[in-house]
Amino acid sequence: MNWIPLDSINQLEDINTHSKPILIFKHSTRCPVSSMAKRNIELEAVLLPENIQTYFLDLIKFRELSNQVSELWKVKHESPQVLLIYNQECIYNSSHNEINIADIVMKIEEVTS
């Protein structure tokens, strides 16, 4: 899996104007549940479309950026958390043990077909 580090507000602007779905994973490097969720995403990444951009947000280093994510896409902050951004909206979000790549893939297929 090719994670793109999410570490600037400028990236949020780019994500918000992108014409294809983008996946953001918000990860707490101090949380074992978050580490397990990250591992599960990486194991199931082969199910994701090849061209999807996947961003990784380290919540410990970039808490303010995480707050901006919550504000911009009107989602409650959770960790771990996955957001699917498309057409300037968060069209899917899930957290903790509810993170499921198959659900994300179905949502991507729904908006791109």
What are the two backbone dihedrals, phi and then psi, of residue 33, each rounded to the nearest 5 degrees?
Answer: -65, -40
pLDDT digits (tens, 9 = 90+) for 20-71: 999 999 999 999 999 999 999 999 999 999 889 999 999 999 999 999 999 9
* Residue 22 three-state SS: strand
What residues have CB less than 8 Å from 63, skipping those under 6 apart? none
User: What is the predicted pLDDT for the residue at 104?
Assistant: 96
Mean pLDDT of 12-16: 94
Report how far apart, in Å, the C-alpha atoms of 67 and of each of 9, 43, 88, 101 are: 11, 28, 17, 24
In the chain, where the domains are located: 3-112
**Number of Cα atoms under 13 Å in the Cβ half of residue 72:** 23
pLDDT digits (tens, 9 = 90+) for 93-109: 999 989 999 999 999 99
Mean pLDDT of 75-98: 95
Q: Which CATH number fits domain 3-112: 3.30.2320.50, 3.40.50.1110, 3.40.30.10, 3.40.50.300?
A: 3.40.30.10
Asked whether residue 84 carries a pLDDT value surpassing 90, the answer given is yes
User: What is the predicted pLDDT for the residue at 113?
Assistant: 86
User: What is the predicted pLDDT for the residue at 1?
Assistant: 80
State the DSSP H helix or E strand holding residue 1, giving kind and residue range, or none if neither: none
User: What is the predicted pLDDT for the residue at 86?
Assistant: 96
